Chains A and B, each alone.
Chain A
Amino acid sequence: MLKYIIKRLINLIPVLIVLTLLVFLLMYLTPGDPALIRLSSQGANVTDELLAATRAEMGLDQSFFTRYFSWVGGILHGDFGMSYIDDMPIFPKLLDALMHTLALASASTVVSVMIAIPIGIFTAVKKDSIPDNIVRIFTFTGNAMPNFLIALLLMYLFCIRVRLFPVIAKGSVQGLMLPALSLSIPMISKFARQTRADVLQQLNEEYVIGMHARGVKERVILYKNVLHNALGSILTIISLQIRVLIGGSVVTEVIFRWPGVGSLIMDSIGGCDYPTVQGAVLILATLQILVNLATDISYCIIDKRIELE
């Protein structure tokens, strides 16, 4: 187990190197002179001397790799550079935004898992019944919904028609409800479908028939064996969905003005504040990589055979 985790951690190193190179390259290839963008976004009166001084200060006269290594070195110490807009360090802003995004992501994941897995099991057991068909229509629609449609629909219903929630979330607990719900609906659709398919597949296995023949109770078969065996692929879909969630949260955060990393990215793109975009993308991608790692480790806990491969 420990060996497996260490192996996975070592595998992370090249991934992180390529990730940082990619993100840095993104910035390097930006059209325009960063020093000019920085000065003009601060509204300074740009002169040739000022421009040259800013270029030297930002290290733009150095080679690609020198700049890359000093950037990565800074990140390792928690220094993501300075924002172009207000010349403040990016890291505290990023950390605050990350906390908000994590709150939103975990709230919607918990809600969707709690709703979707019981629905999935229920519809698998009662296959082709009326409730199954109703749920199927809902999950099919939920899968095809663009996330801004869900968010705007919820906003229209609960903020404008029935004034239950504030339109602007502002990071409060009450404001968290609608964004979390709007992220949950597509996730519930995917989880419920996947859980149903997995449980159905397991129910058709021979061991289930065998247990039935031996007179084991339906409930015991379902919760003890079938669910345990289906858990692996349910976990896969959860980790895949978290990737969709991290991307989809940008749209939802922008609509509800939730002060997370997504809003930060969009605001920074609007203000040409590229170091902040860089930092935010790096943080979200690292989050995704950690989620992947956690999923792989939890497979290993569920199914010991994986470790041997």
Chain B
Amino acid sequence: MKKEKVKMNKKQLKKARLKRKTIILGIIVLIVLVLSFFAPYFAPNDPYLTNAIAAKHPPTSEFLFGTDYLGRCVFSRVLVGARTSIFATLMLVIMSFIVGTAIGIICGYYGGAVDNIIMRITDILLSLPQLVLAIAVAGILGGSLVNTLIAIGITSWTSYARLARSHTMRIKNLPYINSCRMTGCSDFHILLTHVLPNLIGPMLVNATLEIGSTMLSIAGLSFLGLGVAPPAAEWGSMVSEGRSFLQIAPWTVFAPALSILFAVMLFNYFGESVCDLANSNEV
């Protein structure tokens, strides 16, 4: 009896720790988001000001990360690029989340031929190499941020759709949904107020887990020159611009590349602890 109590406490302690960790990480993520949103206002130098004399200058106190081949301040460009890189990623995740969830709920709730066709389509899209498809689409549409988001978005909604569909199929057979139907609620009302709130939790967990890999895909495409157009600062395209000067000015490559690394690490860590917390709540 006593031993069991101690064990319980240990479990609760672990959960409390996990909760604290997730909250702290969440606050850090929030700070990074706010900072990157307001980054252009406290960049030390003009990120677009070229200066031929100060080109390819190693890091100094004036230029924290040195200057690139046109003499632009790499630190300021990394700060400004944070907004593009991070918010493009979040936008893509949110868009595919909304579209995927909507399709998944409708397929799961109604079933039938449409469900069958859409699920076959997701099967096929999931069996293709997504990045290659995205490269081809972005390459043919032409390089721009919107086209990159479209190119990755073509396949990224599928995982949300499958998850939402399987949850909806489980929920729709529960007694309370039947009683809703008997009281004459419309399908739309049931889906929006009774099905959606019950699957939004696991869906959000999945979305936070996807942020890191989405950011990597966007960075990969813009590195290949299919993302934002060159003068604009974006981490992936900055790496691509600096690549030819790897030998003389390695900081122009490694400053934005390491920024991507740290951002992805932060989002992955956050996503994993949210996932752990959600799992510990279930058990």
Contacts and interface: CB of A to CB of B under 8 A. Distances in A.
B132 A250 contact: yes
Interface residues of A, number: 46
Given A14-B120, A144-B265, A147-B220, A152 B239 contact: yes
Interface of A is mostly: helix
A304 to B, nearest CB: 24
Interface stretch (B23-31, B57-65, B136-144): B136-144
Interface in A23-48: 23, 26-27, 29-31
Interface string B246-261: 1100100110011011
Given A152-B253, A269-B139, A274-B140, A146 B219 contact: yes
A29 B131 CA distance: 20
Interface stretch (A173-181, A215-223, A282-290): A282-290
A285 B135 CA distance: 13
Contact of B137 (A26, A143, A155): A26
Interface SS, B side: helix
A254 B268 contact: no
Contact of B128 (A147, A277, A285): A285
A146 B239 CA distance: 11
A1 interface: no
A251 B131 CA distance: 10
B246 A250 contact: no
26 contacts: A18-B124, A23-B136, A140-B268, A141-B261, A141-B265, A146-B219, A146-B239, A146-B261, A146-B264, A148-B236, A148-B240, A149-B239, A156-B250, A156-B253, A160-B246, A160-B247, A246-B129, A247-B135, A250-B224, A251-B220, A269-B135, A274-B140, A277-B136, A285-B129, A285-B133, A292-B127
Interface of A: 14-15, 18-19, 23, 26-27, 29-31, 140-141, 143-149, 152-153, 155-156, 160, 243-244, 246-248, 250-251, 254-255, 265-266, 269, 274, 277-278, 281, 284-285, 287-289, 292
Interface of B: 120-121, 123-124, 127-137, 139-142, 212, 216, 219-220, 223-224, 226, 236, 239-240, 243, 246-247, 250, 253-254, 257-258, 260-261, 264-265, 268-269
